[in-house]
Amino acid sequence: MKVVTTREDLRAARTGLDDLGFVPTMGYLHDGHLGLVRRARRECAGVAASIFVNPTQFGPGEDLTSYPRDLDRDLSLLEDSGVDLVWTPRVEDVYPSGFATNVQITGVTEVLEGARRPGHFGGVATVVTILLALMRPRQLFVGQKDLQQSVVLRRLVADLGLAEEVVVCPTGRESDGLAMSSRNIYLDDAHRQAARVLSTALRAARAAYASGQRDAATLRGTMEAILAAEPLADVDYVSLADPDTLVELEGPITRAAASLAVRVGRPRLIDNTLLHEDDPGLG
Ligand code: AMP
């Protein structure tokens, strides 16, 4: 496994790797990230990952400086997963002196996370454009865990032609349903127990949908009632939206993305599931 830092070393290491699958991350890896690597391994001849805590996607007061980091452990997990190339840039390798580019995506960035975290998706779109321009993969692998991000990145790649395909991989979960996240490390025991309420609420929406409930407000209400019963959960939003446009749905639905953002003690957790008739399970 080659590990490179500068753009120049990346360019040299990239040579000769055709049919590349790319998994960008912010590190502090868990099995959800490794699920993306395993999928890339199956679908592509070569696999590259990046580890970069991108400052421009954090807002003031968010956890940029305290974001968990463990590079040695990450590299050994990636090596054990069969990754060929890892880019671990410094801030100046991604944003060279005089950097003045800003990639903005309209529409799908303006709701949900985008509405609550101003500048977040501008930061994501800009960094992923740079990563893809330098890495030049055939396929980009992202997680459904960050549903809106996956929608934004599909738009970016389709608009700018930065890869052939974006592959959205299912959410890796702990055995009790909690979606894996680097930020779960911030949960103390009581809040870790309480954090199960997100997947419990999503499962309840899925069960209601499976038994024929199609009314958007009723499905939203099912999730809200479960979240409201957990005193340690501070709900930011409960959304039932079109899975492609992320526009909130009203009345009878056919397919939908149910998404939650809930502060549970220190971390603000997000999770989601897709409701549609060929049900893939709690993704
Ligand atoms: P992050 O390091 O949190 O920026 O995530 C890097 C990539 O891993 C993104 O495409 C995320 O959507 C994906 N990811 C994060 N958590 C999970 C999870 N629990 N299951 C699947 N993919 C995930």
| CA 5 to centroid of chain Cα atoms | 23
Same domain flag for 40 and 71:
yes
The backbone torsions φ and ψ at residue 99, rounded to the nearest 5 degrees and listed phi first, read: -50, 130
Is the pTM above the cut of 0.75? yes
Same domain flag for 53 and 138:
yes
CATH number for the domain spanning 222: value is 3.30.1300.10
Q: Is any ligand 1 atom within 6 A of the Cβ of residue 172?
A: yes
Same domain flag for 68 and 203:
no
SS3 173: strand
- Measure 168 CA to ligand 1 centroid, in angstroms: 10
CATH number for the domain spanning 119: value is 3.40.50.620
CA gyration radius, the chain: 19
Q: Is any ligand 1 atom within 6 A of the Cβ of residue 181?
A: yes
Burial track 191-218 (b if 16+ CB lie within 10 A, e otherwise) = bbebbbbbbbbbebbbebbeeebeebee
The backbone torsions φ and ψ at residue 261, rounded to the nearest 5 degrees and listed phi first, read: -130, 125
Angstrom CA distances, 243 to 33, 120, 149, 160, stand at 22, 20, 12, 21
pLDDT in tens, 220-241: 999 999 999 999 999 999 999 9
Q: Are strands 268-275 and 256-264 parallel, antiparallel or unpaired?
A: antiparallel
Does 282 fall in a domain?
no
pLDDT in tens, 264-282: 999 999 999 999 987 667 6
Q: What does pLDDT average to over the chain?
A: 97
Query: Which of 136, 169, 202 finishes a domain?
Result: 169
Same domain flag for 117 and 10:
yes
- Measure 12 CA to ligand 1 centroid, in angstroms: 27
Provide the residue range defining the domain that includes 116: 2-169
Active site residues: 33
Does 236 fall in a domain?
yes
- Sequence-distant (≥ 6) Cβ neighbours of residue 178 within 8 angstroms: 184, 192, 195, 196, 198, 199
Same domain flag for 232 and 257:
yes
